[in-house]
Structure 1
């Protein structure tokens, strides 16, 4: 690992989530001299990866990251293939739709279709969801043993009173997810929110993403029609990616 790049990446990680931090804050978190951190931040500012707040001495993520994230999303074949199918799923179910891919030990929302009504909503593309407390995460855990190992390597945080934090209990439920081709989550990440997810496979038959419908817990359980529509969508996206069978095979941890 190249030390300078590692340190720069850690600065960006500390600033994620709309956080504004000063050089002293960053130096304390990184356990580095302030002069060293100042040099790292100055280099990141030069490339637009970090910006300094107006009239202050704290720093935040810079606009170049938005450009890079847009390029990354546009390069994802699964996202491109899923666009029309996820839009149709939202129309058929009246629910918001997420498409997520594994990212270290989390699920990265790579596409989000808002609920097709006039209610206030926030676009979630780029958000990271906890794998153990989301339907998409449970699907990815069930079909990708390498992802499962990465997630279970660290303690599972409790987000609500309904979050499953026992890795062995969660692991015991995953074979059923793989058998039926879907997972459900109720109030585990956000109180009042539930989701239902199914896997997306590629031409090799491996899981590459999960697609989910999201709805208020008060409206649950999800009707059978929503589950059928979700499974059809996951199967159609997989077919677009070249999959000849669905659901995916279970990928071993050494893949």
Structure 2
């Protein structure tokens, strides 16, 4: 097994040191406490500062934890809170619709599946927690593109084509996102995988901000056989999204 990376170990030690005890520490304090050369500590602190993980007081020169760590920490808490609050509603959605349910969040240019409920039948299925869905070619991704201001910036300049139905032109995708904002939900028919359709709606946090998406996926014949999504399925997905959002403190529903 490969060994640990020394520079990362030292950076982690510095962050832990700044997280405890005094709120602000001088370069010499960090150097002496960790037993590292000042030059080494300064180089690591400078890199951490550039990434937003550490801030330096312009008057005293002392260092403290940066806002980027807070953002990452809140993201971690939000995602775990989302999954915890979603379990019951996701199970109910699978039972009511008879389809598999996925809950996803924006992550590194795609949609990270953080919870997956199998379709409630005897068919063999594969757990997809941890898998990535494309932003522009799935219902979950299009919900995030429509409602999360950060999502469009995650798209590649050239959109990947998965099937003949994939929206590969930005103008077409933008127009669809505008329609999704009007409807409050997104549908997708064979845009990522031939024969598969999806239907999703946004989940909001206590601030009313989009935190993720919940939706169902399955054979296009069941979800959108006549070219449209059955109102009962749309209502079930939207109800699940509202219920999860309310559990997370959202009041706009």
TM above 0.5 = yes
The Cα shift of 1:129 comes to 0.5
Q: Which residue of 1 aligns with 2:210?
A: 207
The Cα shift of 1:145 comes to 2.1
Q: How does 1:130-145 map to 2 (within 5 A)?
A: 130-145=134-149
* Cα distance in 2, alignment partners of residues 101 and 243 from structure 1: 17
**Which blocks of at least 5 consecutive residues in structure 2 are unaligned?**
9-75
Q: How does 1:57-76 map to 2 (within 5 A)?
A: 76=80
Q: Specify the SS of the correspondent of 2:120.
A: coil
* Cα distance in 1, alignment partners of residues 239 and 252 from structure 2: 13
1:244 and 2:251 aligned? yes
* Cα distance in 2, alignment partners of residues 73 and 193 from structure 1: 32
* Cα distance in 2, alignment partners of residues 219 and 73 from structure 1: 36
The Cα shift of 1:73 comes to 9.4
Contact 2:112-2:130 at 8 Å conserved across structures: yes
The Cα shift of 1:229 comes to 0.9
Q: Alpha-carbon deviations, 1:200-230, whole Å to 9, x = none? A: 0000000000001112012232321111111
**Which blocks of at least 5 consecutive residues in structure 1 are unaligned?**
6-71, 247-255
Q: Which residue of 1 aligns with 2:13?
A: none
Matched positions, count: 177
Q: Which residue of 2 aligns with 1:231?
A: 238
Q: For residues 74 and 181 of structure 1, do their structure 2 counterparts lie closer, same or farther at Cα, with a shift above 3 Å needed? A: closer
* Cα distance in 1, alignment partners of residues 223 and 234 from structure 2: 12
Q: How does 1:97-112 map to 2 (within 5 A)?
A: 97-112=101-116
User: Displaced runs of 4+ in structure 1, greater than 6 A?
Assistant: 72-75
Q: Which residue of 1 aligns with 2:178?
A: 175
Contact 1:73-1:110 at 8 Å conserved across structures: no
* Cα distance in 2, alignment partners of residues 75 and 170 from structure 1: 27
Contact 1:74-1:80 at 8 Å conserved across structures: no
1:128 and 2:132 aligned? yes
Q: How does 1:1-255 map to 2 (within 5 A)?
A: 76-151=80-155, 153-221=156-224, 222-246=229-253
Contact 1:160-1:190 at 8 Å conserved across structures: yes
* Cα distance in 1, alignment partners of residues 79 and 183 from structure 2: 31
Contact 1:107-1:136 at 8 Å conserved across structures: yes
Q: For residues 220 and 229 of structure 1, do their structure 2 counterparts lie closer, same or farther at Cα, with a shift above 3 Å needed? A: closer
How big is the alpha-carbon RMSD for the aligned residues of Structure 1 and Structure 2? 1.9
- Give the TM-score taking structure 2 as reference length: 0.67
* Cα distance in 2, alignment partners of residues 75 and 199 from structure 1: 14
Q: For residues 172 and 216 of structure 1, do their structure 2 counterparts lie closer, same or farther at Cα, with a shift above 3 Å needed? A: same
Contact 2:198-2:223 at 8 Å conserved across structures: no
